[in-house]
Amino acid sequence: MSKAVHAKNLNIYYGSFLAVEGVDIEIKPKTVTALIGPSGCGKSTFLRSINRMHEVIPGARVEGSLTLDGKELYGPGVDPVGVRRQIGMVFQRPNPFPTMSIYENVIAGQKLNNKRAGKKATDELVERSLRGANLWNEVKDRLDKPGSGLSGGQQQRLCIARAIAVQPDVLLMDEPCSALDPISTLAIEDLINELKTDYTIVIVTHNMQQAARVSDFTGFFNIEGTGKPGHLVEMDETKTIFSQPKQKATEDYVSGRFG
C-alpha cells in the first residue's frame, strides 16, 4: 500500500513564473510529513504537484524529478488521472458532493469511475472507510442523507473517508483543519495518527502545534520576498526542527520571530 515520494531538484512553474524552486525531499512510507511555512511560500503548490493537481490551473508545469517508489510521476506517457488514483487528496474546505448521499460520497471514487462491485462488497467498503475516518458511529443510521447536511468536521472526515475508499498509496492533506473547530481538529489529528499505519501522509499546515503533534518529519518552506520563488529551507525529524533546527530562518519561524 504505502509508498515513498521522492523529489529531486523540482521546479514548479505557473506559466513563466517560477513558483517553487529546487525542492529536494524524501518522504518515507508510513510516516506523516508536515510542510510548514508562511503563506505564499509554495508548500500547497508543492503538495498539489505530488498528485499533479496543480495542472488543473492552465500553464502549470514542473521541471526536475518526482518519483513514487522510484516511478517517475512526470515521465512521458504518465496519465495524471492514474497518478491521482494512487495519491489521494483532502482539501482545505470540506467539499462533499452536494448531489450525493453520505453513502454515495464515500464510494464517489468508484462511482465516478464506473467501477461496479456487488452490494455486499460496496457496503463493506463504505463501513470500512467510514470507520477508518472515525465517522461510522455518527452516520451509520443516516447513510442515505445528503453529505452536505453534516457538520463541518464531519464533512471533512467524510472527505477523508472518500479519499481512503479508493485505497491510495499516499494521502495529501492541504490544511485539512483550518476550517474546523478545536474538537473536530482533534478528531482529525487522532485520525491522522491512525491512518499513518497504512498510508504515507503529507500534510500542509499553518498550525505549528499541529505539525509538532501529528508529524514524524517536518519540512520548512520559505520565500525571500514577493515575486521570488519559494524553496524548501530544511527538512528533518519534527523534534529536531522544533528544538534545534540547522537554519536560522527555521528557528525564527518555529519560535514565532518571523517577520
Rule CB under 8 A: which residues touch other proteins? Answer: 51, 53, 56, 58, 81-86, 88-89, 91, 93, 95-99, 108-109, 111-114, 145-146, 148-149, 159, 162-163, 166
Q: Give me the least distance between CB of 95 and other proteins, in Å please.
A: 4
Provide the sign of the torsion angle of the four alpha carbons 26, 29, 34, 40, taken in this order: positive
Question: Shortest Cβ distance from residue 259 to other proteins (Å)?
Answer: 31
> In 3D, which of 169, 223, 176 has the Cα closest to residue 198?
169
Query: Which of 28/93 has CB closer to other proteins?
Result: 93
Degrees (nearest 5) of the Cα angle 176, 179, 184? 75
Q: Nearer to other proteins by C-beta: 59 or 239?
A: 59
At closest approach, how far in Å is the CB of 99 from other proteins?
5
Length of the chain: 259
Q: Which is nearer to other proteins, 95 or 247 (CB)?
A: 95
Quickly tell me which residue has 500553464 as its cell. Answer: 59
- Exposed, middle or buried by CB within 10 Å (0-12, 13-18, 19+), for 149? middle
Q: Which of 22/149 has CB closer to other proteins? A: 149
Q: How far is the CB of 135 from other proteins (least distance, A)?
A: 17
Cα 104 to Cα 162: distance, rounded to the nearest angstrom: 9
Break the chain down into helix, strand, coil percent, rounded to 5: 40, 25, 35
Q: Which one, 35 or 90, has the nearer CB to other proteins?
A: 90
Q: How far is the CB of 166 from other proteins (least distance, A)?
A: 6
User: What is the identity of the amino acid at 108?
Assistant: A
